[in-house]
A and B are shown apart, each in its own frame.
Chain A
């Protein structure tokens, strides 16, 4: 594996008492999609903007494809594609899609022929040919997002930064973009760093997930590893209104049941480590108490892992 991006002890503050990154270190590899997860204000966007040369760091070392951010800033700008948040308006609304892409391509030193060849390739991926002659301002939110992603890939960069790439998009377009990115990174040997609050998207897309908390990387691993870190195999959920408090305590005393969570308005959830034994035990208790309740089983999701880790971190535990 080759390191594409190496970040060491990165620090950034926006003023005296507003440190956002507090010594963040992270490596990203070729052929990898790494998702940054963290609560709002945890420093995800700040990190991406520093890597995209839009913000200066206070200290730390950053290497992108071997180039030092301190010495080779302009060289580095050739190497990445960037999609920031709020892409709804981030191209010229009175230029057509193709005119926008040609202009932005020209700013990267591409001639018309190169831009057109790349556009042709990308519109095939996105099935976007029919929109090329439309004004950017007349496109839907999803179409605009597609254009902005195409713009980021126009110069075929080795590294791509996407800050919440599918925010506000309808599920079908979001799915198309996800499938494209996955295929593109794999086939073209790219490195993709993305932030997202849609955890199902992160689960589907990412090779690894990094949890950022209080300005540092609190935990990094595959989505599977993060889920395993929750310490349960899955959850059995019962309808809240049908389960008296005493019964919840009784279920919690079963050996395969590790914890319970009643934050949801409709379901009370039991974390378990042996599905068959837990199911048998719970059914036995429900029969004994003559309770009729619907129940369901679900696997540990990335959201569970995220909430669990963030809960630990907020309580002062090391993840």
Chain B
């Protein structure tokens, strides 16, 4: 019989495993590269998404050519309306980054059993989910970059303003990635979150003012819009791209602060959800979720 005192830290054993702590950054990079490889190998899916966005861009280009918006006394028509629309689409191309991509990543990982491997592994889960979400953002550059360049020429904005547009997009991306991780965690907790995600996506697309000025909405809907990070992103993009033709809801610096606050709040919430989701899945077992 072996006594309990023999159960001590055995350095020989620990050394015999080559596994060692890995930085979150490396997990993040490895996951992003892995996910990009996979996305480019499912070409029909990628091409389909590009088609969908191209059709959407074409539709709103046409709409902008035949419509006139009156926003806070200013009239948006012709080229300025196209800038308005394209400013909205510039952020819309990332909608799948925060909604469908993370939800699908978790569903696939649960289905494939790869999530079980991840949870028995010492690497950072946050970095793993971040990598999954970021790879979708990188893929979306295929649409974002041409749209951004077209916007640059149509808007005839200064280089500084276009740089500010880029910074707004990056700030919104920061928020979206955190939302993406939150959605991934909700998918882990509830598994079937399609309907919930759909509602959120619709809110983000139509209530935030992607295609219509916020002032055109009834007041209650405007208040809902203020709670959505996209709203402030759109407002700032239009402020920089339409220049003197656009009046922001609040002073631009406050809108920047709101975006920053959203990024921090959503990151904290997503981290809390990550811990909660892991605790729940370990209590029930991933196979029971």
Interface size class of B (residues with CB under 8 A): 35 or more
Is B34 a contact partner of A103 (Cβ separation < 8 A)? yes
Which residue in chain A gives the minimum CB-CB distance to B34?
A103
Fill in one digit per residue for A1-30: 1 if any B CB lies within 8 Å of its CB, else 0.
111101000000010000000000001011
Docked pose: A29 CA to B17 CA in angstroms: 17
Is B114 a contact partner of A92 (Cβ separation < 8 A)? yes
Residues in A whose Cβ lies below 8 Å from that of B19: 77-79, 108-110, 155, 157
Is A92 a contact partner of B34 (Cβ separation < 8 A)? yes
Q: Which A49-106 residues have C-beta < 8 A from chain B?
A: 49, 52-56, 63, 65-67, 74-75, 77-80, 82, 84, 86-87, 89-95, 99, 103-104, 106
Residues in B whose Cβ lies below 8 Å from that of A114: 18
Return A174 CB to nearest CB of chain B, in Å. Answer: 20
Query: How many of A's residues come within 8 Å of B, CB to CB?
Result: 53
Is B122 a contact partner of A54 (Cβ separation < 8 A)? no
Is B16 a contact partner of A90 (Cβ separation < 8 A)? no
Docked pose: A310 CA to B215 CA in angstroms: 74
A14, A95, A189: the one contacting B288 at CB < 8 Å is A14
Docked pose: A155 CA to B285 CA in angstroms: 25
With A14-B285, A54-B286 known to touch, is A110 a contact of B117 (CB < 8 Å)? no
Docked pose: A86 CA to B34 CA in angstroms: 22
Interface centre among A53, A86, A89, A90 (most CB of B within 10 A): A90
| A158 sits at the interface (CB 8 A) | yes
Which residue in chain B gives the minimum CB-CB distance to A114?
B18
Is B37 a contact partner of A55 (Cβ separation < 8 A)? no
Residues in A whose Cβ lies below 8 Å from that of B27: 106-107
Is A158 a contact partner of B16 (Cβ separation < 8 A)? yes
Return B198 CB to nearest CB of chain A, in Å. Answer: 26
| A118 sits at the interface (CB 8 A) | yes
Is B10 a contact partner of A90 (Cβ separation < 8 A)? no
Is A151 a contact partner of B117 (Cβ separation < 8 A)? yes
Docked pose: A90 CA to B114 CA in angstroms: 5
**Nearest 7 pairs between A and B by C-beta?**
A90-B113, A109-B22, A155-B19, A66-B9, A77-B122, A106-B30, A78-B19
